[in-house]
Amino acid sequence: VAAPLDVAAALGVRTGESVFHSVCVHLEDGLPIQLEDRYVNPRVVPDFAQQDFSLLQPSEYLVRNVPFDEIEHVVDAVLPNAEQAARLHMPPTQPCLLLTRRTWTNGVPVTLVRCLHPASRYQLGSRYRADGNPVST
């Protein structure tokens, strides 16, 4: 797709330049828990569009094939628009958690992904040791 202004800025490309775009609904026990709206920099991942994402999720493909050395997470509370609410099988008046993630490899932006989660079905959290590593449970 042609990169809109916000996507172009996030991926370090020109507005209107071609980028890859995928939209996925993630289910748990048949219930939608995440709407993933992802843009990928084709300069970094030129084979992204040739993948069969029915076999491997876009995020898993990227983790396996594109080493990232920087990641940014921003979490917001939002209301879904009508299309998002329909895809998540929820009323548009119910709040969602929006996780916006960007990744870089060697200083070059790889992906911008917005993951929308119905707040009643999802919880975000993490636990790390002082050295920055996750705690094993």
Instruction: Summarize pLDDT for 118-129 with one digit per residue, the tens.
Output: 999 878 777 777
Higher pLDDT, 6 or 134: 6
Q: Rounded to whole angstroms, how far apart are CA atoms 1 and 86?
A: 23
β-pairing, 31-40 vs 70-78, is unpaired
The two three-digit tokens of residue 78, written as one number: 């939002």
| Whole-number pLDDT of residue 137 | 60
Q: Is the pLDDT of residue 114 over 80?
A: yes
Tell me: the pLDDT tens digits for 91-102? 999 999 999 999
What DSSP character marks residue 134? B
The residue count of the chain comes to 137
Tell me: the pLDDT tens digits for 52-104? 998 899 999 999 999 899 999 999 999 999 999 999 999 999 999 999 999 99
pTM of the predicted model over 0.85: yes
Closest by CA position to 66, among listed 112, 116, 104, 119: 104
Tell me: the pLDDT tens digits for 4-48? 999 999 999 999 999 999 999 999 999 999 999 999 999 999 999
Residue type (1 letter), 28: E
DSSP-assigned letters across all residues of 32-85: EEEEEEEEE-TTT-TTGGGS-TTTS-HHHHHHHHS--SEEEEEEEEE---HHHH
